[in-house]
Amino acid sequence: MPIGQPQLFPTLDQIMQLVRSMSRDTFSGVGGQQGRIFTNDSPFTLPFLNEALDWMNRALRNEGVTFPIRDNVIIYQIPPQAINEPAVNVRVGFDGYFDGQTMHGTKKLPGDLMQPLVLQQRVSGTQLPFARMSEAQEGLISSFPQQFFGQWEWINYEIRLNGSLQTMDLMFRYVSGQLPLNTLPEDFTTTIIHVQDCKSAIANKMAQLYAERNNGEPGLIAAKEKAADAAIQGMAEAYVRQQQGINRRRPSYGGGGSGQGDGADTGQMGGIGGLVQ
């Protein structure tokens, strides 16, 4: 018999449907929306979701889970810096690219980027190899925009750069996962939570928080907390088993191994390549 297309990550809509089922709020609401109390736009949905995401990330880290690394993710055709002023830095965030004067909403960071590791650059349209960039150690140097991007730094959940006079491509290697959301998305059905098999953990934690908010039955609250913890434990065991199938070895003394000292010889796990238009 035919089966549906497999889905690696759950959507926010799937999580909210499960939360409402646990909270006995599966009724049709105002204007055809799902639920009457625990709706997508209720004032406590975003705080509860972010609290559940923070709890999940913290719990998985405490279990020794290493989040996957994505490589060769590219943002194409980033415009030049608009102002020839050393006091201005350009930046790439989850809301787009700011050239010092104008925000370009389509040139934004991937939604699953938790921590950038390596940035590389090239001039757009050249089809040349990417050149590795250096990360600023104590803030970006003050300089006029040059022919290429200068250094980069990760600050306030955005990448700041010394600007370029040319249109550039940026390629990323980063730790993937799910950061808290600043605002609720418009479409829950297309919003992905970038952690495998996390639906049960997040939904149970949100249901627990909802029950606590309403002074619910202590036994029910304890049951939701236990179910959330059990889901996290199952996720951690699956991640750890996956990592145990990878051959790992210590970095060579003084570097200079197969990765030429760039960390590739430490046995880090690679990831899935992709493109961001």
User: Which stretches of 52-186 are assigned E, i.e. beta strand?
Assistant: 69-78, 90-93, 96-98, 103-104, 113-123, 131-132, 152-155, 158-161, 168-176
Say yes or no: 206 and 223 in one domain.
yes
Q: Is residue 251 one of the residues assigned to a domain? A: no
List, in sequence order, the alpha helices (H) in the chain: 12-22, 45-62, 199-213, 218-244
Q: Are residues 78 and 172 in the same domain?
A: yes
Does the residue 35 lie in any domain?
yes
Dihedral sign, Cα of residue 145, residue 148, residue 150, residue 155: positive
Q: Which parts of the chain register pLDDT below 70?
A: 1-7, 31-32, 240, 242-277
Is the same domain home to 102 and 195?
Answer: no
The predicted pLDDT at position 265 comes to: 37
Radius of gyration (C-alpha) of the chain in whole angstroms: 22
* Domain annotation covers residue 216: yes
Of the residues 176, 208, 225, the one at which a domain ends: 176
110 occurs within a structural domain: yes
Both structure tokens of 275: 């493109």
Please report which residue ranges of 100-217 form alpha helices under DSSP H.
Answer: 199-213
DSSP letters for 224-264: HHHHHHHHHHHHHHHHHHHHHTS---PPPTTS-STTTTSSG
Segment (H or E) for 164: none
Do 75 and 171 lie in a common domain? yes
Domain termination site, one of 176, 204, 234: 176
Residue 270 confidence (pLDDT): 37
Q: Are 185 and 168 contained in the same domain?
A: no
Q: What is the pLDDT of residue 204?
A: 97
CA distance 77 to 35: 43
Number of structural domains in the chain: 2
Tell me the residue range of the domain where 204 lies.
12-66+179-244
The reply to whether 43 falls in a domain is yes
| In a shared domain, residues 207 and 85 | no
- In this structure, are 124 and 167 located in the same domain? yes
Could you tell me how far CA 3 lies from the centroid of its own chain?
29
Same domain assignment for residues 97 and 158: yes
Same domain? For 135 and 100 the reply is: yes
**204 to 15, 47, 163, 166, 208: CA distances (angstroms):** 9, 15, 45, 49, 6
Give domain status of residue 264, yes or no: no
Same domain, 142 and 172: yes
Same domain assignment for residues 26 and 77: no
Q: Helix crossing, 45-62 with 199-213: angle to 10°?
A: 130
Domain boundary among 150, 176, 202: 176
Specify if 78 maps to a domain: yes
Same domain, 60 and 186: yes
Residue 165's CB is within 10 A of a number of other CB atoms, namely: 13
Taking Cα atoms as reference points, which of 160, 75, 88 lies closest to residue 122? 75
Q: What letter represents residue 191's amino acid?
A: T
> Is residue 260 domain-resident?
no
pLDDT reported for residue 180: 85
What is each CA distance from 17 to 26, 39, 52, 101, 205, in whole angstroms?
8, 10, 16, 41, 14
pLDDT at 36: 87
Dump pLDDT digits (tens) for 77-130: 999 999 999 999 999 999 999 999 999 999 999 988 989 999 999 999 999 999
